Amino acid sequence: MNKDTGLTMVKIVSDGDVLYGASAIAEFLGLPPKHIYYRVSVGDLPTFRLGAIICARRSTLHAWMAQQEGTVGTDHSRAGMMEPRG
């Protein structure tokens, strides 16, 4: 505890599974950071916050991607897609 402020400082130690910040999540998913901010704002990405920092676990994102792969071919996943010709 800081004697001057009375606040307890917490040091975040990465266990290798947690991605800290939209840029780290974007790099992991191969997307631009602005896409991450948008997906977080509409609730489409499994993330959490540590203060103002957007965070995600690699393991959770892997599970989420596997779940998303399982929804391919359902009616809602084809919304806005063109049907193949021929």
Q: How far apart are the C-alpha atoms of 23 and 10, rounded to whole Å?
A: 22
Report the 10 Å Cβ neighbour count for 33: 15
Structure-block tokens of residue 38: 């948008």
Q: What is the DSSP letter of 71?
A: T
C-alpha distances in angstroms, 54 versus 42, 57, 76?
Answer: 14, 11, 27
Q: Where residue 69 falls among pLDDT bands split at 50, 70, 90?
A: confident
- Average pLDDT for 28-53: 95
pLDDT exceeds 90 at position 8: no
pLDDT of residue 83 exceeding 50 = no
Tens digits of residue pLDDT in 43-54: 999 999 999 999
Query: What rounded mean pLDDT belongs to the chain?
Result: 80
CA 63 and chain centroid, separation:
12
